[in-house]
Structure 1
Amino acid sequence: MKIAFKMKLKEGFKEEYIKRHNLIWPELKELLKKSGIADYSIFLDEETNILFAVQQQNGQSSQDLGETEIVKKWWAYMADIMDANPDNSPVSVPLQEVFHLD
């Protein structure tokens, strides 16, 4: 199943966001893959600083892994550059697919 969601990057943190994701922790990458998450992309709309994420999943969404220590640690690491909830999880809004070209 493919899902999409949006998040918000704080102004001026594009390069830092890219840098941190280019250096994604191996244990986090492994957890995502073991959880059935694949083909995961995040796009940035620079006019609004909205991050648009799309992922293929055969299990949980990356947003559903917040009870694991590594995800909690990642969220805390990213909270200074993104809109975040009190538990440091990114403010995330699910998006509805309205068209798909097969």
Structure 2
Amino acid sequence: MIRKAFRMLVHEGCEGEYERRHRPIWPELEAALVAHGVRTYSIFLDPATRDLFGYAEVESERQWESVADTDVCRRWWQYMRDMMPANPDASPVSRDLREVFHIERPTSRATGTDEAADP
């Protein structure tokens, strides 16, 4: 699994509408993300700076990048382009972030519990 993190920005005064449009995202967009190997995807907002921090776990870079070729993704970009800085193709301006630390506790496949937990 590949962990992706990226930063975007929401325009001033658009924070509430940005959140509303994501609660929930379109079912067909969620289905496209899952079909393209996205296992988890979260976006966090820093209200003080309007920075958006995206985090996703994906099966492959190729699948992640190919989401952009779907009709539903392109429609979503058009729907969101008034809320945030956008590229000429309407995709949001984003900057990839480099991972500097990660910890993951192993779980028992049989029980789904922490292997490191006290007996």
Give the shorter-chain TM-score range: over 0.9
Q: Residue deviations 1:45-85, cap 9 Å, x none?
A: 11211100000001332x54222111110000000001111
How do 1:1-12 and structure 2 match up within 5 A? 1-12=2-13
Q: Unmatched 5+ residue regions in structure 2?
A: 105-119
1:20 match:
21
Question: 71, 79, 82: which one pairs with 2:81?
Answer: 79
| The 10-residue stretch of structure 1 (19-28 or 87-96) with the greater mean CA deviation from structure 2 | 19-28
- Corresponding residue SS for 1:84: coil
Q: How many residues align?
A: 101
Higher relative contact order (CA 8 A, sep 6+): 1
State percent identity of aligned pairs.
46
State the 1:86 CA deviation.
0.9
Q: TM-score, normalised by structure 2?
A: 0.80
RMSD: 1.2
Residue from 70, 73, 77 that aligns with 2:72: 70
Residue 57 of structure 2 aligns to a residue whose secondary structure is strand
Change over 3 Å in CA distance of 1:64–1:49 after alignment to 2: farther
SS at match of 2:22: helix
Please give the secondary structure, in 1, of the residue aligned with 2:19: helix
Q: Do 2:6 and 2:95's aligned partners in 1 also have CA atoms closer than 8 Å?
A: yes
- Which residue identity lines up with residue 67 of structure 1 in the other structure? D
How high is the TM-score relative to the length of structure 1? 0.92
Q: Distance in 2 between matches of 1:78 and 1:53?
A: 15
Matches for 1:23-102 after TM superposition, within 5 Å: 23-59=24-60, 60-61=63-64, 64-102=66-104
**Equivalent-residue separation in structure 1 for 2:66 and 2:51 (angstroms):** 20
Aligned-pair CA distance for 1:23: 2.9
